Amino acid sequence: MLVWLWAHKIKNAGVVDIFWSYNFPVIAIILFLLAPGYHDRKMLICAMVIIAGARLGTHLTTRIIRYLDEEEGRYQQLRKEWAPIAEKKFFFFFQFQAISNVLLAIPFFIICLNTNPVLSSFEYAGFILWFISVTGEAIADRQLAFFKKDPANKGKICQTGLWYYSRHPNYFFEWLMWLSYFVFSLGSPYGYLAIISPAIILYLLVNVTGIPATEEQSLRSKGEAFKAYQASTSVFVPWFKKKV
């Protein structure tokens, strides 16, 4: 609610992305301090969540704060579509983001309630998958940031590095990270319930706030050039060059 009040004041709904990312480290810290699970397991999963959330939140803060007086195109479009009650709809949109923070944190609750003093193979596998995904997402974000930083690339489409193979390598690795939390959870009682997190993330990325909104904005800003790019690349998975 406080974030919505600030966004309403500055007319920039994009700031919700910053706080959505930083909320996961907040949840992790609360669980580390209060949950009754095995200390080493809590330390490992909470460190993973804090590192990933802080990295993404800081990346988004750097990008959004730099243009705080210019709302991102995706949110500008929503503001037009939701007029004349855009602010009311943005209020509920922000509350949905808060609810999603809690739902997506279900793996962390499951893991931090586990009192077994022995780490399982699922937990080691989850950590390895997490490391790969966070590294991949950081590389994709860095490659795109460097591309946009060059004035000569204004209006062009990033097709270097991981972006040569996929239109959304950052989203792919983001989903892979949530899959890693599910794998980690399988080492705890009722860990199978954690499948809700990668399932929700996949649905949101593919059908709601991720790929559709991003590609619609790219089509508005880059037109035919982006259509040609769509025809030659995979929408999601980075290791296919041709569209699948």
> Tell me, what's the pLDDT at 211?
82
Tens place of pLDDT for every residue, the chain, 244 residues? 999 999 999 999 999 999 999 999 999 999 999 999 999 999 999 999 999 999 999 999 998 888 888 888 888 888 999 999 999 999 999 999 999 999 999 999 999 999 999 999 999 999 999 999 999 999 999 999 899 888 888 878 888 899 888 888 999 999 999 999 999 999 999 999 999 999 999 998 888 777 887 888 788 777 777 777 777 777 766 655 544 4
- Angle at CA of residue 27, ends 206 and 15, nearest 5°: 55
> Tell me, what's the pLDDT at 167?
84
- Cα distance between residue 178 and residue 165, in whole Å: 22
- Cα distance between residue 190 and residue 208, in whole Å: 28
- Cα distance between residue 66 and residue 44, in whole Å: 33
Residue corresponding to tokens 């780490």: 119
- Cα distance between residue 33 and residue 47, in whole Å: 13
Cis, peptide link before residue 84, omega less than 30° from 0: yes
List the beta bridge partners of residue 166: 234
> Tell me, what's the pLDDT at 68?
86
List the beta bridge partners of residue 234: 166
pTM of the predicted protein model: 0.89
Residue corresponding to tokens 């769509």: 230
Q: Residue 231: CA atoms inside 13 Å, Cβ hemisphere, count?
A: 5
Query: What one-character-per-residue DSSP string does 160-197 give?
Result: SGGGGTBS-HHHHHHHHHHHHHHHHHTTSTTGGGGGHH
Q: Residue 167: CA atoms inside 13 Å, Cβ hemisphere, count?
A: 24
- Cα distance between residue 134 and residue 19, in whole Å: 19
> Tell me, what's the pLDDT at 85?
94
- Cα distance between residue 31 and residue 192, in whole Å: 20
User: Domain residue spans in the chain?
Assistant: 2-232
